[in-house]
Amino acid sequence: MKLRIAFYILLLGSLSAFSQKFSSHQVALTPTAYPETNFDKVAYANKLHEKFAKESKSDDLEDYIKQDILYKEYFFSSNQIYSNWPEAGNYVKKVYQANLIQTK
């Protein structure tokens, strides 16, 4: 009986976990969000080259850096996050500072 109950709990848990499509809820554009991004590919590439300076130079590393730049560029321009939105940034900083003061 315990095995049957455990099986049903596992079955219902897995069904409820995999029934959600988490990627289907994209962030909608708002009138105050700016569509262009300020992602600097050259600066990001330089930062990655500095990070991996101790690694030996190879085509695989260059391919990884190129792919990572493409991914980051897509991420910042896909409206899954907001960038260049000072109002939201100021709000997040205000909430963060308020929480820091409360935890001290």
Number of domains in the chain: 1
With contact defined as beta carbons under 8 Å apart, do 38 and 84 qualify?
A: yes
Q: How far is CA 60 from the centre of its chain?
A: 24
Task: Encode burial over 65-93: b for 16+ CB neighbours within 10 A, e otherwise.
Answer: beeebeeeeeebeeeeebbeeeeeeeeee
**Structure tokens given for 22:** 């988490």
Q: For the segment 10-41, what is each residue's pLDDT rounded down to a tens digit?
A: 777 776 665 555 555 555 555 555 556 677 88
Least confident of 2-6, 55-59, 76-80: 76-80
3 lies in some domain: no
Whether residue 28 lies inside any domain: the answer is no
Q: pLDDT band at 56, cuts 50/70/90?
A: confident
Whether residue 73 contacts residue 41, with contact meaning beta carbons closer than 8 Å, is answered with yes
For residue 7, being part of any structural domain is answered with: no
Q: Which domain holds residue 40?
A: 34-81
The model's pTM: 0.45
Q: Which residue has the higher pLDDT, 75 or 18?
A: 75
Query: Is 91 a member of any domain?
Result: no
Let me know how many helices (H) and strands (E) the chain has, helices first. 4, 0
Domain membership of residue 100 (yes or no) is: no
How far apart CA 21 and CA 10 sit, in angstroms, is 19
Tell me if 17 is assigned to some domain. no
Residue 44 belongs to some domain of the structure: yes
Domain-embedded: residue 8 = no
